[in-house]
Chains A and B, each alone.
Chain A
Amino acid sequence: MWNKFLASTLPAQGSALAAKWDTLYWFLTAISVFFFFLIVGGMIYFAIKYRHKKGTPETTTYITGHHKLEAVWITIPTILVLVIFAWGYKLYVNMIEAPENAYEIHVQAEKWVWEFHYKNGRKTIGDLFVPLNKPVKLIMTSEDVIHSFFVPDFRVKQDVVPGMYTSVWFQAEAPGKHEIFCAEYCGTSHSGMLGQVIVLDDAKWADFEQGKEIAQSDKPVSMQDQGAELFRKRSCAACHSLDGTRRVGPTLKGLFNADVPLADGTTVKADENYLRESIEVPTAKIVQGFAPSMPSYKGQLTDAEMTALLTYLKSLK
């Protein structure tokens, strides 16, 4: 149980670096636990042992210092922090110096989406496809404010800054999916600026490079679930609630087939065409009482994805 708890303190180890990082982390934790018990334990021990009791004399032993002891608690911590520093720096160099042969992918961040551009001309939003066991280097920039590319499973993070290129590299060693967070505060939907790294084995990676569609899972996923996934990944939830509360945009609860009052005073029935239009050309019909602040998703969703999204929206009762 104890082991399980410790393991759950850190994210899964998804890259070659993660295990090395974890070793240093646990080394620091061991030292911290030791000093914590030394200091706080010492404090509690003295507090109890030397507590004032009624009837004992007020006067105490006159001690003003002890040079040898002081030398000890200057020297030992100094050595320790220098060792920690050197270890941390060495690992850091390892983290930032990408191998020559790393596969390069360009990353463009903007409020609140991650866009990935590959050598073969492909572009993906939210999903970053990478090969298994091969070094990958990301060259990143931002369109608007500072964001930060963070993959906990890989133990890497790098700010993405407008007007300059920053880079980060990793070698994914665990197939499957790994979360991407935006770690630098970037406004309204900072916490919705999510994505995932999808690690492909050699065969699938070859398919991807040739421009074939990649089935993301071996098990078939229902349309509705795919839609829910898209809803999350495209940050729709940043502006729309599913439980009736009002956010930047109207709630989408029970929208399908309802009568929607529009800003121009007319009403419209929310059928499939209306939903589709609302997503692709949001400014065509503005809902009464809301600002026309929804971005257009035209060209960002394939036909299959749009169908999945609509299936999902229709299911929201």
Chain B
Amino acid sequence: MSGNYITSEKGLWSWMKTLDHKRIGVMYLFTILTFFLIGGLFAVAIRIQLAHLGKNIVTADQYNKLFTYHGAIMVFLVVIPAIPAALGNFALPLLVGAKDVAFPRLNLFSYYLYIIGALVACSSLLVGGADTGWTFYTPYALKTGVATLYVVAGAFIAGFSSVLTGLNFIVTINKLRAPGLTAFRLPLFCWSIYATSIIQVLATPVLAITLLLLIMERVMKIGVFDASLGGDPVLFQHFFWFYSHPAVYIMILPAMGIISEIVPVFSRKPIFGYKAIAYSSLGIAAISFLVWGHHMFVSGQSKLANFVFSLLTMLVAVPTGIKVFSWVATMYKGSIRFQAPMLYAFGFLELFTIGGLTGIYCATIAIDVHLTDTYFIVAHFHYVMVGGTLMGLLAGMHYWFPKMTGRMYSEVAAFWAWLFIVVGFNLTFFPQFILGSQGMPRRYYDYPAKFTYLNRMSSFGTSLVSIGFFMVAIYLIYAIKKGKIAPSNPWNGLTLEWQTTSPPPTENFEQTPVVKDWFYEYRSKA
């Protein structure tokens, strides 16, 4: 094939002005992985410091900046956009049998907004660096260095990129589906992206307002968050989590969608309980707006509020459980392949199950009082965000890599990298549950000697994870250059993207595909 989307036009400029969703998806992926590397290096520095190897490698102030940038970059520039903006852009139009997203120009604009937001945030490093933590709690964020303003402004801009991408996907799914692709034939990845997009469109503006108020409070002293001006510092936390809790589901729902695609394909079986999984995505999205207060059980919030937030948070366990049980049930009597995407799905299930179950500890008010703001929370959200979102991203990257590049990677290399990542991840974060239970607070530059052993274990795990990620980078780059040529359908998938060439032509399909059935007919088509 000569005319695929990669070869159709040449040169950097042709990429920078492209309106092709696949190219924009690839650009997002590349940019996001670059930020992942940067955010990851900050994490490595944190773990070296906390290994207490007899010497401090950074000062306390530098340490505070390290975790601020690690958190802000990973949350706003990596984990939130990772799956929707990168893989969603690449795969969603293919999955619904469309030529592109509904608004290609807006799509490119969103990408540039993201880049501008990222650059504004990073320019804060030139004015001393921010040290508020990624949560920008007031009044600290009002009193510390001016660099905070740049990070906040960057997050504000990047937020719009997220809103516009969500809007684009909602319209794409509503309007551009191939003939015959009814709602209940939609691949589950599309359902999860749909639920995600709704959250993005509804919740992100609240973040924007909050960040804007924060900037105004600092610059104009309007007196909303600053107690010394008659404001209420805890109000900021309400505003902030009103967005940032739903954001957790912006991060995890798309990953769940990817797992829902991969498990059936690599088990050669229909997904178990399609409708329950589809509705549970919407259910999670709906509850996600009503649980933000669980971040604030010890903030001085009223007893009644704590009652309601704890109760509603508990209910999230139910739709989440439905999904997890359904994935495992899908494997029953399957014909299971141990290829890289499925390995990452296994990794997802292991890590996400731990992340989810420990979430119940955090939702139980009395238990949370002791655990909040300790390493238990750090471990919990890394299991969910890394164990969930990042495993989902890796699963999806490996799944669609042949489609994206037209090449296959080495399964052997992929297996070893996977092993390093999953083992290393557990070694890094499991000890942190114990540290937190023992009472070690988070964001600590230094700690009492009794915590040394587990901290070193955690730091050692980080080195394994790092090796794993470098292996992934190496074999994927090698595969892009020298990998075996990929067939159109390497995994025997039944969804539409596998019916076009690898890589697809710019217009995706030679003719508009017509859908006559749902995508799980392994009886006849396997």
Contacts and interface: CB of A to CB of B under 8 A. Distances in A.
Contact of B444 (A35, A61, A190, A238): A190
Contacts of B104: none
A150 B137 CA distance: 18
Nearest to B433: A9
Nearest to B311: A85
Contact of B336 (A50, A61, A183): A50
Interface string A119-159: 00000000000000000000000001110101011011111
Interface in A80-121: 81-82, 84-85, 87-96
Interface string B199-222: 000000000000000000000000
Contact of B227 (A51, A93, A162): A162
A63 interface: yes
A315 interface: no
Given A35-B353, A46-B334, A88-B366, A78 B137 contact: no
Contact of A77 (B131, B318, B520): B318
Contact of A69 (B317, B329, B444): B329
Contact of A185 (B133, B338, B353): B133
Given A11-B439, A146-B233, A162-B139, A88 B56 contact: no
A284 interface: no
B332 A50 contact: yes
Given A43-B328, A50-B332, A92-B306, A59 B140 contact: no
Given A24-B364, A185-B137, A36 B322 contact: no
B119 interface: no
Contacts of A188: 60-61, 64
Contact of B60 (A90, A184, A238): A238
B contact residues, range:
35 or more
Nearest to B342: A47
B274 to A, nearest CB: 7
Interface string A54-80: 001111111111100110011001100
Interface stretch (A206-214, A239-247, A305-313): A239-247
A88 B133 CA distance: 29
Contact of B333 (A63, A95, A146): A63
B338 A89 contact: no
Contact of B276 (A70, A93, A148, A164): A70
B434 interface: yes
Nearest to B143: A145
B310 A88 contact: yes
Interface in B339-369: 346, 349-350, 353-354, 357-358, 360-361, 363-367, 369
B59 A247 contact: yes
A216 interface: no
B445 A190 contact: yes
A156 B370 contact: yes
A82 B445 contact: no
A147 to B, nearest CB: 10
Nearest to B325: A73
A163 B439 contact: no
A292 interface: no
A155 B195 CA distance: 38
Nearest to A167: B300
Contacts of B307: 89
Given A88-B364, A187-B131, 13 more contacts: A21-B370, A31-B360, A40-B350, A43-B328, A50-B333, A63-B333, A65-B273, A81-B317, A85-B363, A91-B365, A157-B373, A159-B298, A183-B441
Nearest 9 CB-CB pairings of A with B: A163-B227, A152-B439, A88-B364, A91-B366, A191-B444, A46-B331, A183-B373, A81-B314, A32-B357
Interface of B: 55-56, 59-61, 64, 131, 133, 137, 139-140, 143-144, 227-228, 231-234, 267-276, 298-300, 303, 306-307, 310-311, 314-315, 317-318, 321-322, 324-326, 328-329, 331-338, 346, 349-350, 353-354, 357-358, 360-361, 363-367, 369-370, 372-374, 434, 437-439, 441-448, 492, 520, 522-523, 526
13 contacts: A46-B336, A47-B346, A51-B336, A52-B337, A60-B269, A63-B270, A70-B273, A144-B139, A153-B439, A157-B369, A164-B234, A182-B441, A247-B59
